[in-house]
Every structure is written in structure tokens, then in C-alpha cells.
């Protein structure tokens, strides 16, 4: 750019809000490096996480105002700035929890083939609430786990009848037992 003598001086700009060096890869999440930035991760990840490549470099220091992540960013929210706000509202659902959701859908489908009685409606409503809770949180929490296990272990005559005609209840029970094992139950 050619500058003429009578051109006004360029305006001073505020320094950048910070910088970020990632030595690995960024496969998810939200990153902002501005002084007034805002980063939000509201993603939903289901199933197993793919293996990550080796980290390319491991820096030992960074210039002033810079942040260094020597590994990978796979989710979450990160802000490197004076007034930054980071919100991590992401949900990660592991493969077993995805299977529980599939199994719940299978039991509900089997219930849908039965005559609609008060009992069938009550069980279907309980399973729908369970699906909603898992979808919202990404996990089968201890309280929900106890309620579902009580239901499939004979707590409902309707579920017992469905179990005699389809594998859906047995599949759900198996998936819940895997999660129960994780909780030490």
C-alpha cells in the first residue's frame, strides 16, 4: 500500500483478546480468542469417540496473552479474552446409553401393539419420561436406573406380558445391567 503525505495516520487498534495454540486437533467444542468473545458448545455427541491422531507438537511456552493447549480439543467451550464467557452445554451420550434409548423405543413399540389400557398408558408414559430424561442429560442417572430396573424386573404386569412376546424387555434389561455395573450395583 502506498501512503501519501496528506493521508491521515492509521487509527490505533486495540490489541487482540488473546490467542490460542492447539498442539493437537480440534474435533468439537467452541473456541473464541477475542477480547469480548463468547463461546458456546451445545452439541450432542452419541456413541464412541473416534481415536485421535498423535499430537503434532508440545510447546513449552507461549507469547504473552496467548494460551497453549498441548493436546486435543474434543468438546466444551474455551475463551481467551478479557471479557469472554464460555458455556459448555454439550451432551455426550456413550454407546451403551444410545443402546438403552434404542431398547426403550423397542419396548414402547411393543407396548403400542397392545390394547390401550390404563396400565399400558402408565408404563408407556414412564418410559417416555425416561427417554426424555436420557435425551436431555445424555445419561441414565442412578434414580432413573433404579426405576427402570424395577419396572423390567417384574414391577409391572404389562411389562412382564410384553417380555413374554418380544426380546425388547430383555434387551433393555441387559443394557441397564451394563450401566448398573458401572455404578457399582
Has residue 181 got a pLDDT over 50? yes
Task: Quote the pLDDT of residue 185.
Answer: 66
Contacts 24+ apart (CB under 8 A), 109-117: 109/168, 110/162, 110/165, 110/166, 110/168, 110/169, 111/158, 111/162, 114/158, 114/161, 114/162, 117/158
The percentage of the chain sitting over the pLDDT mark of 70, rounded to a whole number, equals: 87
pTM: 0.63
- Range name among 8-22, 54-68, 137-151 with the lowest pLDDT average: 8-22
Task: Quote the pLDDT of residue 58.
Answer: 66
Could you give the 3-state DSSP secondary structure of residue 85?
strand
Task: Quote the pLDDT of residue 109.
Answer: 93
The percentage of the chain sitting over the pLDDT mark of 90, rounded to a whole number, equals: 9
Where are the domains positioned within the chain?
A: 19-92, 95-182
Task: Quote the pLDDT of residue 7.
Answer: 52
* Mean pLDDT of the 52-71 span: 74
Mean pLDDT of the chain: 80
Task: Quote the pLDDT of residue 92.
Answer: 80
> pLDDT per residue over 157-179, tens digit each?
888 888 888 888 888 888 888 88
* Mean pLDDT of the 56-73 span: 74
Has residue 123 got a pLDDT over 80? yes
* Mean pLDDT of the 64-77 span: 78
Task: Quote the pLDDT of residue 102.
Answer: 92
Task: Quote the pLDDT of residue 128.
Answer: 93
Q: At 174, list the grid cell.
A: 441387559
Position with higher pLDDT, 10 vs 183: 183
Task: Quote the pLDDT of residue 176.
Answer: 86
CA 74 to each of CA 30, 45, 90: distance values in angstroms, whole numbers, following the listed order: 9, 10, 11
Amino acid at each position: 500500500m502506498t501512503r501519501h503525505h496528506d493521508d491521515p495516520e492509521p487509527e490505533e487498534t486495540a490489541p487482540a483478546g488473546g490467542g490460542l495454540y492447539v498442539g493437537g486437533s480440534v474435533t468439537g467444542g467452541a473456541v473464541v480468542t477475542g477480547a469480548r468473545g463468547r463461546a458456546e458448545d451445545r452439541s450432542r455427541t452419541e456413541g464412541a469417540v473416534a481415536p485421535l491422531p498423535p499430537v503434532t507438537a508440545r510447546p513449552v511456552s507461549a507469547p504473552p496473552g496467548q494460551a497453549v493447549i498441548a493436546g486435543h480439543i474434543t468438546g466444551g467451550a474455551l475463551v481467551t479474552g478479557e471479557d469472554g464467557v464460555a458455556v459448555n452445554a454439550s451432551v455426550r451420550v456413550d454407546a451403551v446409553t444410545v443402546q438403552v434409548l434404542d431398547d426403550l423405543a423397542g419396548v414402547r413399540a411393543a407396548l403400542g401393539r397392545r390394547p390401550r389400557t390404563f396400565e399400558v398408558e402408565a408404563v408407556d408414559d414412564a418410559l417416555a419420561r425416561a427417554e426424555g430424561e436420557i435425551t436431555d442429560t445424555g445419561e441414565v442417572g442412578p434414580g432413573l436406573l433404579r426405576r427402570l430396573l424395577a419396572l423390567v424386573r417384574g414391577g409391572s404386569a404389562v411389562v412382564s406380558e410384553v417380555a413374554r412376546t418380544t426380546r425388547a424387555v430383555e434387551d433393555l434389561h441387559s443394557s441397564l445391567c451394563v450401566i448398573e455395573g458401572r455404578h457399582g450395583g
